[in-house]
Amino acid sequence: MQSLYTSLKSMKCMRNGHIVWLLGAVLALLTSCKKGYLDIVPDNVPTLDHAFANRLEAEKYLFTCYSYLPSEGDPDRNPAFSAGDEAWTYWPMKEDFFYLDPYNIARGNQNSANPLLNYWDGFDGKSLWQGIRTCNIFLENLDKVIDLQPYEKDRWIAEAKFLKAYFHWYLFRMYGPIPIVDKNLPITATPEEVRVFRQPVDSVVNYISALLDEAAAGENSGLPLRIASATSELGRITKVAALAIKARVLVTAASPLFNGNNDFAGMKNKNGQLLFNSKYDATKWERAKDACKKAIDLAHAAGLKLYTFNPSIIEVDHATQVEMNIRNSVCEKWNSELIWGLTTDAAPTYWLQTFACPQLDPNAFNINLKGKLAPPMKIAEMFYTKHGVPIDEDKNWDYANRFKLRNVTALDTGMQEGYKTVGLHFEREPRFYADIAFDGSTWFMKNGDYNIQSKLEQYSGKKQSRLFSITGYFTKKIVSWNLVFTKTSLQTESYPWPVMRLSDLYLLYAEALNESNSSGEALTYLNQIRERAGLESVQTSWSTYSKNPTKYTNVIGLRDIIRQERCIELAFEGSRFWDLRRWKTATQVLNTPIYGWDILQSTYENYNRRVFVYNMQFVGPRDYFWPIKEDNLQINPNLVQNPGW
């Protein structure tokens, strides 16, 4: 365990460049916490002199900084997959889950005695405070390396600054106002100096933003505009990535959770310092807008563009072309849209794909295809009709009869001719069929077409106590089309997890433009994303098909459109979980029940009945932020707990 306090105290143990490693570290932690003083150092490098003796060793230390990045492509480690309402699974969990934390959070079991997904103290062997400390050590000692070229030094410094900013950002998004650790404490620091305070939201945002600016600075030095060596450097930071993350930080800071939120107006340090500014500030959206535009301009200069599937790879019809535009914008390795892909794990998305993909072939049951990351029915209802408007707004779509059975014909998209399924699955937008599979749907892969048949005892359905979808839906979007399986083997291409891609940045910019009263330009970026997804423009879709044809013409209406567009375009990519929080809509959205189909039934009529799965509870304002572990509040009395915990 490496809490903030432990990390700060351990900085004091560096004497004459040597790291002191106490054999009784765990015992010291348990005994000295009561005294408020820890004198341990958990470094694996014997001496700092050795760590920075030459270029090779220093580069290893830089990669150690990278190693603290959370495993965002893993559903057991990333709360954005399974701690919200975008993907559900059966309970109790079975033996193949390494961590149950996110699933327990989704079921309302977060607590302050032993917090779940506790990245403050250390989760999955990673304390983000320890990551920050490691970056600081790197920055403080890089001058010792004698065989390092100046351009390499500038780049490595920029990378370490980015990582330090990102670790602060990750903690800020989870915990709200946090301490800022810009420098490691000196050996002479007193215990009282180590007992740091949380900093106000605006101070934290300004610090992270400034650090990202430093990382991206310099036209001909520092971070590269694009990665030059695809064989050895993909996944490392570029200028575009630094500015894109800055844009995300500033959009978050301008959003309702942090901008004009009275729920935390009374939250203050014990010295009386207020941690939230409850007054709304419109200039925060202007600042976010400018940051998004700067990042987009640089992305275009680097050659990034919205991904489209190359039809020369394999001959497909138009509908499949559009589907692959959508799926491969996530799953194709290092495609034209990817701004930053995470590769810190050896196989960053292998397990994710096995959790998402169901059994596809009745003659080749493979135990590794689990199909257990199950979108709830409300996620299926979230996608537009084929006219590009919400299902309850489309005046030509039969919303009232969406749960009634219909026969699939040759003219219907994404489904098996002759099958029966509910009206909810007919005449939907291409992203619906690209992202989600269901009983009666089809699943296109590079090695052929598959059919999903998931009623009770069917090959894609429930046949035992595990390896099934609890709702009857499957997350197709995050499964690479290169996945190949037999009864005894499974091969799939593990792709870098897209922390940021260009469509995400476009949507952040559209949101900032709309909140800054620039709706016309916002529509330009929305429509580019919709065109790639096979939809008409917002203006055409709403004017022609919506019961509310002028919705897009005002800030409030367009805000609703942008938010739904964002939830659809970035579905199953870890965005919705955080977006619902920053929009401050989680209290409403996450207090609605989880529904699915009756997966214990074998006939069309009985299976296609909506059934209750779970009643989620999101307590506001408490659940908008993680609790700080109670032990930390005793060790450092200057820390204050988040409200409600």
Q: What is the pLDDT of residues 278-291, one digit of tens each?
A: 999 999 999 999 99
| Residue 29 reports pLDDT greater than 90 | no
Stretch 492-502: mean pLDDT? 95
The answer to whether 403 and 423 have CB atoms below 8 angstroms apart is yes
Crossing angle of helices 150-175 and 55-66, in 10° steps, is 20
In 408-501, alpha helices (H): 430-435
In 227-341, alpha helices (H): 239-254, 283-301, 318-331
Q: How far apart are CA 533 and CA 500, in angstroms?
A: 18
Q: What is the dihedral of CA 422, 428, 434, 438, to 10 degrees?
A: -10
Stretch 183-207: mean pLDDT? 94
Which three-class secondary structure state does DSSP give residue 627?
Answer: coil
pLDDT value for 231: 74
Which three-class secondary structure state does DSSP give residue 91?
Answer: coil
Task: Pull the structure tokens for residue 289.
Answer: 């807008």
Q: Strand 18-19 vs strand 338-342: parallel, antiparallel, or unpaired? A: unpaired
Q: Average pLDDT over the chain, rounded to whole?
A: 91
Q: CA 197 → CA 4, 11, 636, distances in Å?
A: 11, 18, 9
| Residue 40 reports pLDDT greater than 60 | no
| Residue 309 reports pLDDT greater than 80 | yes
Q: How far apart are CA 407 and CA 232, in angstroms?
A: 52
pLDDT value for 220: 80
Cβ-based neighbour number of residue 364 at 10 Å: 14
Which three-class secondary structure state does DSSP give residue 158?
Answer: helix
Per the DSSP assignment, residues forming a β-bridge with 558 are none
Q: What is the pLDDT of residues 218-262, one digit of tens each?
A: 888 899 999 887 777 889 999 999 999 999 999 999 999 999 999
| Residue 44 reports pLDDT greater than 60 | no
The answer to whether 496 and 342 have CB atoms below 8 angstroms apart is yes
Q: CA 429 → CA 109, 380, 386, 533, distances in Å?
A: 36, 11, 4, 8
pLDDT value for 32: 31
In the chain, the amino acid numbered 495 is Y
- Tell me how far the alpha carbon of residue 43 is from its chain's centroid: 29
pLDDT value for 616: 96
Q: How many alpha carbons lie under 13 Å from residue 397 in its C-beta half-sphere?
A: 26
Stretch 393-419: mean pLDDT? 98
- At residue 186 the predicted structure's pLDDT band, cuts being 50, 70 and 90, is confident
Q: How far apart are CA 299 and CA 317, in angstroms?
A: 31
Residue 577 parent element (H or E): helix 576-582
| Residue 45 reports pLDDT greater than 80 | no
Higher pLDDT, 13 or 48: 48
Which three-class secondary structure state does DSSP give residue 594?
Answer: strand
In the chain, the amino acid numbered 88 is W
Stretch 486-496: mean pLDDT? 94
Task: Pull the structure tokens for residue 394.
Answer: 């489309």
> Residue 406 has what DSSP assignment?
E
| Residue 297 reports pLDDT greater than 50 | yes
pLDDT value for 35: 29
Which three-class secondary structure state does DSSP give residue 501?
Answer: strand
The answer to whether 373 and 495 have CB atoms below 8 angstroms apart is no
Stretch 326-341: mean pLDDT? 96
pLDDT value for 22: 23
Cβ-based neighbour number of residue 588 at 10 Å: 11
528 exposure class (CB count in 10 Å sphere: 0-12, 13-18, 19+) = middle
- CA 243, 247, 248, 250 torsion: positive or negative? positive
Stretch 205-213: mean pLDDT? 98
Please give the full DSSP string across 109-148, using - where no structure is assigned: ---SSS-TT-TTT-BTTB-HHHHHHHHHHHHHHGGG-SS-
| Residue 16 reports pLDDT greater than 60 | no
Stretch 67-89: mean pLDDT? 94
Q: Which of 207, 181, 166 is nearest to 65 (CA)?
A: 166
Q: How far apart are CA 367 and CA 350, in angstroms?
A: 14
pLDDT value for 11: 46
Task: Pull the structure tokens for residue 50.
Answer: 């050795």
Min mean pLDDT across 151-165, 216-230, 608-622 is at: 216-230
Share of the chain above pLDDT 90, in %: 84
pLDDT value for 187: 84
- At residue 93 the predicted structure's pLDDT band, cuts being 50, 70 and 90, is confident
- At residue 69 the predicted structure's pLDDT band, cuts being 50, 70 and 90, is very high
- At residue 46 the predicted structure's pLDDT band, cuts being 50, 70 and 90, is low
Task: Pull the structure tokens for residue 201.
Answer: 């939201």
| Residue 15 reports pLDDT greater than 60 | no
Residue 342 parent element (H or E): strand 338-342
pLDDT value for 96: 58
Q: How far apart are CA 348 and CA 574, in angstroms?
A: 14
pLDDT value for 229: 79
pLDDT value for 95: 55
Per the DSSP assignment, residues forming a β-bridge with 77 are none
- Tell me how far the alpha carbon of residue 348 is from its chain's centroid: 13
pLDDT value for 4: 66
Residue 497 parent element (H or E): strand 497-501
